[in-house]
Structure 1
Amino acid sequence: MQRSELLQALDALLEPWRFKDYCPNGLQVEGRASVQRVVTGVTASAALIEAAIAVGADTVLVHHGYFWKNEDPRVIGMKKSRLARLLAHDINLIAYHLPLDAHPVLGNNAQLAAVLGLQVHGQTGEQNLLWHGELPEAITLEAWRQQAGDCLQRTPLTLGNPQALIRRVAWCTGGAQGMFADAVALGVDLFITGEASEPCAHIAAETGVAFAAAGHHATERYGVRAVGQHLADTLGIDVRWIDRDNPV
């Protein structure tokens, strides 16, 4: 299929115009006009680019692409090396950030809920990126930590009383620790995100609401994989998911 057709399908699915984002969504680096093999991954790292080259991909679709707001615009160092490899092999780089977090079925928040067995009640906050719901039954924070570790292949960092019972949950994948106070205001027992920062320990201690940092990469590997499978199912193109693990 043509690259333009793929982009039209992705835009129709993810509706990037609805979001005020920190990077351009859609085509970031132009490669071949004809698309035959797509590699999906979380981040357009050098390792993912090399893996895409190795399998003969002409397109890479990721959640974390390039050209972030306030980054150094110069094409030097690591940025030059990455772009040079994409351009030398005529590979398209397509990235969707917040639109891929927010999709109600295929997005990171929806897919994380499915992986962790969370029942979704609704979305709120800035651009509706803070999701909330509950566990099927109340369990201790420690029991949940162990279950989540089995699901994500990464044991979360948890803050709070390990024996406290939790059921009501809010979550936002990736680096959403700044939403912890908003989650507390929802009256939940636990807030789940990818990363932690220093204030999180104090908020957890002083409010009694537990906090879990389950990994930025670990919480965001599911959305782009689901979108890739959707493309394969609906458009009939060759899509290959490649996971380059990241401990953060």
Structure 2
Amino acid sequence: MNNFELETLLNGFLKPHLIKDYCPNGMQVEGKPDVMKVVTGVTASQALIDAAITHGADAVLVHHGYFWRGEPEPIKGMKFRRIKALIEHGINLYAYHLPLDVHPEVGNNAQLASLLGIEQRGGLEDGNPNSVAVWGELPDAITGDAFSALIESRLNRKPLFINGGSHRNIKRVGWCTGGGQDYIDLAASKGMDAFISGEVSERTTFSAREQGIHYFGAGHHATERYGIKSLGEWLAENHKMDVTFIDIDNPV
């Protein structure tokens, strides 16, 4: 497939034009015109690029790419080395941030819900059809400790569990993968029993305790591992592309 045709295909599926984001979505670095092998991963780190080179990839498709709002603009140091490696090996870089978080099928939020057995009900942000914070329900109410164990078993990572009320069981769950910890207050105001995000802040502890909502910090990387993996599987299944997911370890 032509590299620009692939961008058009991904844009049509993920619809980045509908979402205001903090970075460019789509092709970020142009490489060779023909794309046969694609490597997917969470972040376009040097380690992922090196693995893509070893794999003979024509493209890298990630959730976290480059050129974030507010980052230093000069291409030097770490940014230079990454981009230089891509260009020298003719590797196209495609990145989709918020569009991948909110996609109803392959999105990070949707995939996390599927892993944890949560039936998604809607967005937490009223009037926003692309709410990055969502909510849903478990089939049966369970304790905070049991839910923590479930998250650990499905994500292969022990979450940070802040008990928002030792006797409160969990049925209604809000979540936002990645750095969505500040949506905990919105989740509490909507009557959620628990809230999950990837990252945690110092203030999150007191929000959970004082508003009586359980909080689970499950890891930025761990909660966003499955969206990009699912997107790659969609490409392979529906467009017969050679796609390999490479998971670069990240404890954050």
**2: CA distance between counterparts of 1:51 and 1:16?**
27
What is residue 8 of structure 2 aligned with on the other side? 8
Match of 1:184 among 182, 188, 193: 188
Cα displacement string for residues 211-238 of structure 1 (whole angstroms, at most 9, x for unaligned residues): 1110000000111111111011111110
Spell out structure 1 runs of 4+ moving beyond 4 A: none
Could you list the runs of 5+ residues in structure 1 that have no partner in the other structure? none
Instruction: Give the 3-state SS of the residue equivalent to 2:247 in structure 1.
Output: coil
Residue 163 of structure 1, CA deviation: 5.2
Instruction: Give the 3-state SS of the residue equivalent to 1:66 in structure 2.
Output: coil
Q: Aligned pair in 2 of structure 1 residues 124, 207: CA closer, same or farther (>3 Å)?
A: closer
What is residue 173 of structure 1 aligned with on the other side? 177
CA RMSD of aligned residues (A): 1.0
What is residue 225 of structure 2 aligned with on the other side? 221
Residue 12 of structure 1, CA deviation: 0.6
Instruction: Give the 3-state SS of the residue equivalent to 1:129 in structure 2.
Output: coil
What is residue 155 of structure 2 aligned with on the other side? 152
Amino acid at match of 2:161: T
2:124/2:186 contact within 8 Å kept: no
**1: CA distance between counterparts of 2:6 and 2:59?**
10
Number of aligned residues: 248
1:123/1:129 contact within 8 Å kept: yes
Residue 162 of structure 1, CA deviation: 5.1
Match of 2:144 among 119, 141, 144: 141
2:102/2:131 contact within 8 Å kept: yes
Normalised TM-score (structure 2) = 0.96
Instruction: Give the 3-state SS of the residue equivalent to 1:138 in structure 2.
Output: strand
Residue 32 of structure 1, CA deviation: 0.5
What is residue 129 of structure 1 aligned with on the other side? 132
Residue 186 of structure 1, CA deviation: 1.0
Residue 136 of structure 1, CA deviation: 1.3
Identity score, percent: 51
Cα displacement string for residues 75-100 of structure 1 (whole angstroms, at most 9, x for unaligned residues): 11111111111111010000000000
